[in-house]
Amino acid sequence: MNNLDDLLSEGVRGRRVLVRADLNVPLDGDKITDDGRVRASLPTIEKLTGAGARVVVTAHLGRPKGEPDPQFSLAPVARRLGELLGTEVPVAGDVTGDSARSVVGGLADGSVALLENVRFDARETSKDEAERGAFARELADVVGDGAAFVSDGFGVVHRKQASVYDVAKLLPGYAGGLVLSEVDVLRTLTGDPRRPYVVVLGGSKVSDKFGVIEALLPKVDKLLIGGGMAYTFLAAQGHQVGSSLLQNDQLDATRELLAKHGDKLVLPVDVVVADAFAADAKTQVVDADAIPEGWMGLDIGPRSVELFAETLRGAGTVFWNGPAGVFEFEAFAAGTRGVAQSIVDSDAFSVVGGGDSAAAVRSLGLPEDGFSHISTGGGASLEFLEGKDLPGVAVLEGND
């Protein structure tokens, strides 16, 4: 697929370039609590502005209901982007209306503007191709004749949405540096990874990860299970899990996985349980098969951390997606911290699969350069490893 370097070789000075970035950052009021995705967008934007392009960034934030909602405005993101770039980044008051056209029309060579949250327009995520296509046409019209499109939001390329997929059919499309590097890394994992190949999966629900678990188990040497999803596995083994998160509708399928691939699956042997889901709850460490009635597991225990670490020490390749516990509460952060540190300490080619795992790396103070690659797209990473087509990539490759 054509990439950013191809576009730059054509010359972009004075040319408008629509960049689809992933700027879906966590907010506390109007304060960004983790700017990792904003920082990840910088290299592509800076290459374009350095070459004199007039860069128009489009992105989403949160889940507004298809109409403007001030709590999901991209204004805080524009401020942070401007701080990182060292220049003011104006944000339009709408997506494709008069304000957008005015802001874009005022761009000088080498400058950047941000359109308002694309999900303020319901057509962005519509299942109706005609509706999405009409919105994509409006986006293309905002940047005008001769413009190009750069897809650099890896966290959204698994979605067939107007600003990701349909606009790439209207403007000459190029993969940004972030998308290109993400795809290259994931192709390493799906190709011939250095062995042993160990995957660590956490998060809350088995149902969210079942497809990728089934796809990965024939390919990996070990698959370590943590997080809330571990309790469905423990229950499938016949253990009582108290009031821990449990998906009863997944038990039969989980039993089948254990019967078929039990030699590859590694489950917690002890857990940190609490009497309530709260930062100040009473806690105790118990064996994984001895969770008391009325108590809930919120983290893997110290023996489980060591068990996981032992497996990770000898790994050649590691993919990690999903925390081992409720790391947002310090009382239940030790499991995630321990697993992550074991990956850092290993000699493996290590990939952090975005989402909460990437947030945990930063919030727990772990060295980002201790991992070979930290993805910006958790869902996109998982779907790629599951073997699904990513519409936002396929359209750039001309396969859709």
355 is catalytic: yes
Length of the chain: 400
- The closest of 181, 180, 172 to 17, measured between CA atoms, is 172
| Spans of the chain, pLDDT less than 50 | none
160 is catalytic: no
Locate 265 and state its tokens.
Answer: 């699956």
4-180 sits in which CATH class? alpha beta
pLDDT digits (tens, 9 = 90+) for 113-145: 999 999 999 999 999 999 999 999 999 999 999
Please, what is the Cα angle at 22 between 207 and 150, to 5 degrees? 125
379 is catalytic: yes
Domain ranges of the chain: 4-180, 191-386
Please, what is the Cα angle at 101 between 16 and 128, to 5 degrees? 90
CATH number for region 191-386: 3.40.50.1260
Locate 21 and state its tokens.
Answer: 């970035």
Q: Are 32 and 387 in contact (CB under 8 A)?
A: no
Q: What is the pLDDT of residue 114?
A: 98
187 is catalytic: no
> Do 4-180 and 191-386 show the same overall fold?
yes
Asked if residue 297 belongs to a known ligand binding site, the reply is yes
Asked if residue 119 belongs to a known ligand binding site, the reply is yes
Q: What is the pLDDT of residue 400?
A: 66
Asked if residue 337 belongs to a known ligand binding site, the reply is no
3-class state of residue 253 by DSSP: helix
Q: Are 95 and 70 in contact (CB under 8 A)?
A: no
pLDDT digits (tens, 9 = 90+) for 233-254: 999 999 999 999 999 999 999 9
Asked if residue 60 belongs to a known ligand binding site, the reply is yes
- The closest of 51, 112, 62, 125 to 83, measured between CA atoms, is 112
